[in-house]
Amino acid sequence: GESVGLHLPTLSVQEGDNSIINCAYSNSASDYFIWYKQESGKGPQFIIDIRSNMDKRQGQRVTVLLNKTVKHLSLQIAATQPGDSAVYFCAENNYGGSQGNLIFGKGTKLSVKP
Amino acid sequence: DAGVIQSPRHEVTEMGQEVTLRCKPISGHDYLFWYRQTMMRGLELLIYFNNNVPIDDSGMPEDRFSAKMPNASFSTLKIQPSEPRDSAVYFCASSINIQGPNTEAFFGQGTRLTVV
């Protein structure tokens, strides 16, 4: 088993504020990106995806921004709620926009203070 | 639909023993994925199937790991013999597609494996 734990970056925000979670991806050929949310003791849950021919995509209370020039992805959560507390992962893929072999980032822990 | 169902939720076994993890994907989903999650390495794809056929097993760490999908509603991930470094949470996920629309993967609750 693991002998050393990996400390996740943590973002702490006040309830009602907006949250921005950042992700730097590694492969300039990646053309499909997904954000996942993982609550304690549960599996990852799909939040939103974006393809490389877009630079912005909006969902319900969430927005994903893609900057291919600097290989940067961000997830913005509007009016953050306690239920948003979780670990957020970005994932990239360069398999023609396929989810077949996603590469996941290490994750960011979001903590929402009431 | 009950979602992706994995069993067991927790497994503790001794080094050298065989371990079998089970997964029932969502009905109608043609793709099934096995992932492993550890603090050190994060979430890694081990293997995925399309219509019960293994497509990419390049993530399977060693020959000790094997996965099967005998039918559309059942898959197993087997580790034989197990080692302490296999301790992790193993997730199964399924999706309708992997390209185009309906690519969202739905994850199960995971199996926490501890090898002592």
Does residue B98 have a pLDDT over 70?
yes
Q: How far is B88 from chain A (nearest CA, A)?
A: 8
Q: How far is A15 from chain B (nearest CA, A)?
A: 27
- For the stretch B41-52, pLDDT in tens is 889 899 999 999
Q: Determine contact: B85 vs chain A, CB below 8 A.
A: yes
Q: What is the DSSP letter of A3?
A: S
- For the stretch B67-89, pLDDT in tens is 999 999 999 999 999 999 999 99
Q: Where are the beta strands (DSSP E) in chain A?
A: 10-14, 19-24, 32-38, 45-51, 56-58, 62-67, 72-77, 86-93, 103-104, 108-113
- For the stretch A52-79, pLDDT in tens is 899 999 999 999 999 999 999 999 999 9
Q: Which of residues 41-100 of A touch B (CB under 8 A)?
A: 41-46, 49, 89, 91, 96-100
Asked if B104's CB is within 8 angstroms of A2's CB, the reply is no
Would you list the DSSP string of B54-75? EEE-TT--STTEEEEEEETTEE
Which positions ≥6 away from B63 have C-beta within 8 Å?
Answer: none
* Res. B56 pLDDT band, cuts 50 70 90: confident
